[in-house]
């Protein structure tokens, strides 16, 4: 555990611990969503993680099209 | 008398005295103006002040369940702006902020479209000085584009108002049908100010160019005035659901790659407006409450985030993620307040964003709009990414930029602390917050499913970011310009129009040259044929003239003889 915290950092390890805690909470109580798809176990966790990765991937790929030099409009 | 004076108007009139007051007196005077402006709100719901002009009735002060929450938050924001800008000694920005806040408050209380038009344009003409206040060439150009677009929005509003006046005999601010011409014109006017997709360029173009205190004020009033107007006039208009969903969705990607942190916040602002527009499009009582609650909460946490970045800009001179980092040890209070703003906008339980956004998500769920629901859920993860993490992380942590600075001025800290406390207060006591919303409905945001679901979504989205950063997949921020819809009128149209005009100019020059050349040639030819031994030689001209006269007389004789 100590080596994980050392390797991954205190804050990062804390977030990971919270992630695990919120997964356990779902197992303790009964969580339901606004839509039936959300009722799938750990759905928000998967959705949050994947969304962030997708946003990152699309954002980075858009750099090629949308990112120009800083003085682009001044030229 | 003072209680029937339209809220906001006294702030606009009082702003004219600000240049003549010494600094401390000015600050007290401005606070007094806001208090005086708020006093008539005690009159409650109803039409309170009207004037007749050119046989038209202008409703200057009306109040209903929708205006009250907007009036309250606009006054709170005006006070926060005064505190936040107290370190600025020169009067110019104070006049602009006071009159701009006043105009926005007065606009919310307008009961007819012509009165709204006056205040609509007043918000544009007063706020442009906040962009000019940066005093750079970029801000000057940006301010010009800003005012052109804002005035264009006003022209659409005026056109719609006049058609309505002609058709109906009045231009009352009420619910409009999108299928009418005036309805469409007014819809476009509101849409420009609400930064609809492809009409949003002005927002990302101008707000980050404003001064550090100017951006905070700008983020509060203009777009939220548009939200109020949509809620008032187009609640339940279905197309708003689609427009709003697109608004929540696409700015996320721009925000991810944008380097200027204040510009990131403007994309985030656009995204948050999308949530409100979707809710207005749904139009149920729960949804309208959600839109208003979101606008209310958003003014506070987005203002707080802009305040944090404004403080960084004031102390460091830049807001570029590529140049910042490691400021936590120098600006800890600013950092903590910015983090509270970031947590609030991300909609963590016990913070304002959660209790506001839950209303909208529940309204979507109740209406069975599954696709839009998941688009907004995806956007919620995006908000965490760009506003919840990117803003505080790149400014205050990330890496040591080597910048050494000091904490923000005390007045800035005071404004940030008050805004932070309000964000928490709303989150902790949602029933108090819900009591000022337009409709009194029973809603409990803190149930097990809501809380656990939201916490899972956010912590795992944060964990994804941590993984990307920790394993060095996240690319470094770069000094750059990210193309947005303003590219259409800043590059594309000039790119097409300038060569076209140049071509037309060339054609014009060539045609002129041809005409001049032909004229010269004709002149030379005529001159040549008049020279010696030619037909019109002046020496033989006399004989030629006699022949011509004889020939003419003969011709006349022949013609006359034809008639007789």
What value of ipTM does the predicted structure carry? 0.94
Answer yes or no: do B453 and A53 touch at CB < 8 A: no
Domain limits for position A41: 2-66
B367: which residues sit within 8 A by CB, 6+ positions away? B282, B284, B287
- Which tens digit of pLDDT belongs to each residue from B247-258? 998 899 999 899
Classify residue A61: in a domain, yes or no.
Answer: yes
Report the pLDDT averaged over residues B415-419: 97
Q: Is A4 on the interface with B (CB under 8 A)?
A: no
Nearest beta carbon to residue B253 from set A25, A43, A58? A58
Report the pLDDT averaged over residues B62-66: 94
- Rounded Cα distance, B214 and B217, in Å: 5
- Which tens digit of pLDDT belongs to each residue from A15-51? 999 999 999 999 988 888 888 888 899 999 999 999 9
Report the pLDDT averaged over residues B350-362: 95
Q: How confident is the model at residue B53 (pLDDT cuts 50, 70, 90)?
A: confident
- Which tens digit of pLDDT belongs to each residue from B275-321? 999 999 999 999 999 999 999 999 999 999 999 999 999 999 999 99
pLDDT for residue B209 is more than 60: yes
- Which tens digit of pLDDT belongs to each residue from B99-152? 999 999 999 999 999 999 999 999 999 999 999 999 999 999 999 999 999 999
**Burial class of B544 by CB neighbour count within 10 A (0 to 12, 13 to 18, 19+):** middle
Classify residue A72: in a domain, yes or no.
Answer: no
- Rounded Cα distance, B129 and B124, in Å: 9
Q: How confident is the model at residue B535 (pLDDT cuts 50, 70, 90)?
A: low
Interface of B with A in 205-264 (CB under 8 A): 252-254, 256-257
* Shortest CA gap A75–chain B (Å): 11
- Which tens digit of pLDDT belongs to each residue from B365-375? 999 999 999 99
In chain B, domain spans: 1-229, 235-485, 490-563
- Rounded Cα distance, B562 and B564, in Å: 6
- Residue B417's SS3 state is helix
Chain B CB contacts of A57 below 8 Å: none
Nearest beta carbon to residue A51 from set B254, B459, B461? B461
The pLDDT of residue B206 is: 94
- Rounded Cα distance, B465 and A45, in Å: 13
Between the CA atoms of B26, B28, B31 and B33, what dihedral angle is there, to the nearest 10 degrees?
Answer: -60
The pLDDT of residue B532 is: 61
Q: How confident is the model at residue B450 (pLDDT cuts 50, 70, 90)?
A: very high
What's the Cα-to-Cα distance from B504 to each of B123, B494, B496, B517, rounded to whole Å? 39, 15, 12, 20
Residue B280 phi, psi dihedral angles, 5° rounding: -65, -40
Q: For residue B466, what are its two tokens?
A: 């941590």
Q: Is A46 on the interface with B (CB under 8 A)?
A: yes
The pLDDT of residue B540 is: 55
B393: which residues sit within 8 A by CB, 6+ positions away? none
Classify residue A14: in a domain, yes or no.
Answer: yes
Residue of B nearest to A52 (CA): B461
Q: For residue B376, what are its two tokens?
A: 């907004």
Classify residue A55: in a domain, yes or no.
Answer: yes
pLDDT for residue B545 is more than 80: no
Q: Is B460 on the interface with A (CB under 8 A)?
A: yes
Unique residue bearing structure tokens 């909208």: B360
**Burial class of B144 by CB neighbour count within 10 A (0 to 12, 13 to 18, 19+):** middle
Taking alpha carbons only, the member of B298, B479, B315 closest to residue B396 is B315
Unique residue bearing structure tokens 């109906």: B168
Q: How confident is the model at residue B541 (pLDDT cuts 50, 70, 90)?
A: low
CA A35, A40, A41, A47 torsion-angle sign: negative
B54: Cα within 13 Å, side-chain hemisphere: 3
The pLDDT of residue B402 is: 86
- Quote the Cα angle for B7-B204-B405, to 5°: 90
Answer yes or no: do B474 and A9 touch at CB < 8 A: no
**Of A23, A31, A38, A51, which to mutate for an interface test with B (greatest number of B Cβ within 10 Å)?**
A51
The pLDDT of residue A18 is: 94
For chain A, the C-alpha Rg in angstroms (whole number) is 19
Q: Is A44 on the interface with B (CB under 8 A)?
A: yes
**Of B375, B452, B478, which to mutate for an interface test with A (greatest number of A Cβ within 10 Å)?**
B452
The residue that leads in pLDDT, B335 or B544, is: B335
The residue that leads in pLDDT, B5 or B316, is: B316
B391: which residues sit within 8 A by CB, 6+ positions away? B261, B264, B265, B305, B308, B309, B338, B342
- Residue B482's SS3 state is strand
Unique residue bearing structure tokens 């209790």: B355
Classify residue A73: in a domain, yes or no.
Answer: no
B206: which residues sit within 8 A by CB, 6+ positions away? B131, B142, B143, B145, B146, B218
* Shortest CA gap A3–chain B (Å): 15
The pLDDT of residue A32 is: 87
- Strand runs (DSSP E) across B186-296, as ranges? none
- Rounded Cα distance, B17 and A69, in Å: 44
């Amino acid at each position: 555990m100590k080596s994980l915290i050392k390797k991954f950092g205190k804050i990062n390890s804390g977030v990971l611990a919270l992630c695990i805690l919120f997964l356990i909470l779902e197992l303790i109580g009964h969580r339901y969503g606004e839509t039936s798809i959300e009722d799938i176990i750990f759905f928000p966790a998967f959705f949050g993680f994947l969304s962030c990765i997708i946003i990152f991937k699309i954002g980075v790929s858009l750099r090629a099209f949308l990112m120009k030099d800083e003085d682009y409009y001044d030229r | 008398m003072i209680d029937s004076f339209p809220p906001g108007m006294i702030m606009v009139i009082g702003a004219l005295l600000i240049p003549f007051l010494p600094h401390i007196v000015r600050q007290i005077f401005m606070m007094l103006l806001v208090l005086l402006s708020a006093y008539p709100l005690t009159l409650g719901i109803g039409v309170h002040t009207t004037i007749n002009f050119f046989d038209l009735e202008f409703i200057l002060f009306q109040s209903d369940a929708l205006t009250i929450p907007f009036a309250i938050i606009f006054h709170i924001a005006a006070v926060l702006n005064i505190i936040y800008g107290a370190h600025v000694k020169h009067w110019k920005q104070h006049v602009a902020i006071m009159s701009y806040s006043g105009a926005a408050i007065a606009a919310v209380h307008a009961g007819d479209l012509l009165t709204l038009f006056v205040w609509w344009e007043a918000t544009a003409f007063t706020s442009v000085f906040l962009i000019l206040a940066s005093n750079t060439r970029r801000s000057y150009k940006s301010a010009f584009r800003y005012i052109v677009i804002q005035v264009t929005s006003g022209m659409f509003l005026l056109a719609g108002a006049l058609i309505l006046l002609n058709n109906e005999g009045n231009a009352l601010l009420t619910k409009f049908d999108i299928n009418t011409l005036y309805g469409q014109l007014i819809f476009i006017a509101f849409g420009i100010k609400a930064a609809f997709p492809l009409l949003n360029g002005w927002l990302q173009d101008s707000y980050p160019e404003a001064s550090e205190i100017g951006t905070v004020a700008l983020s509060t009033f203009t777009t939220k005035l548009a939200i109020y107007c949509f809620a008032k006039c187009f609640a339940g208009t279905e197309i708003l659901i689609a427009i709003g969903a697109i608004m929540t969705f696409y700015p996320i990607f721009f925000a991810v790659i944008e380097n200027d942190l204040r510009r990131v916040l403007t994309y985030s602002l656009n995204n948050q407006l999308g949530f409100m527009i979707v809710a207005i499009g749904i139009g149920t009582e729960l949804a309208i409450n959600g839109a208003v609650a979101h606008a209310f909460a958003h003014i506070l946490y987005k203002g707080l985030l802009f305040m944090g970045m404004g403080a960084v800009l004031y102390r460091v001179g830049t807001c570029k993620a590529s140049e910042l980092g490691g400021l936590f040890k120098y600006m800890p209070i600013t950092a903590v307040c910015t983090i509270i703003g970031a947590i609030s906008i991300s909609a963590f339980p016990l913070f304002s964003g959660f209790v506001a956004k839950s209303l909208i998500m529940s309204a979507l769920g109740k209406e069975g709009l599954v696709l839009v629901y998941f688009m907004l859920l995806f956007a919620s993860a995006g908000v965490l990414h760009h506003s919840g993490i990117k803003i505080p992380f790149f400014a205050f942590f990330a890496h040591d930029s080597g910048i050494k600075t000091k904490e923000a001025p005390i007045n800035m800290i005071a404004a940030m602390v008050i805004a932070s406390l309000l964000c928490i207060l709303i989150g902790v006591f949602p029933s108090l917050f819900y009591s000022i919303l337009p409709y009194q409905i029973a809603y409990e945001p803190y149930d097990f499913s809501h809380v656990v679901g939201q916490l899972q979504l956010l912590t795992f989205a944060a964990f994804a970011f941590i993984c990307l950063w920790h394993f060095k997949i996240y690319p470094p921020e770069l000094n750059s310009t990210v193309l947005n819809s303003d590219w259409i009128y800043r590059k594309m149209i000039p790119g097409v129009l300038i060569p076209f005009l140049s071509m037309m100019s060339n054609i014009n020059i060539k045609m002129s040259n041809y005409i001049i050349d032909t004229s010269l040639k004709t002149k030379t030819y005529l001159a040549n044929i008049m020279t010696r031994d030619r037909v019109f030689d002046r020496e033989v001209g006399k004989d030629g003239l006699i022949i011509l006269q004889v020939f003419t007389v003969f011709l006349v004789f022949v013609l006359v003889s034809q008639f007789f």
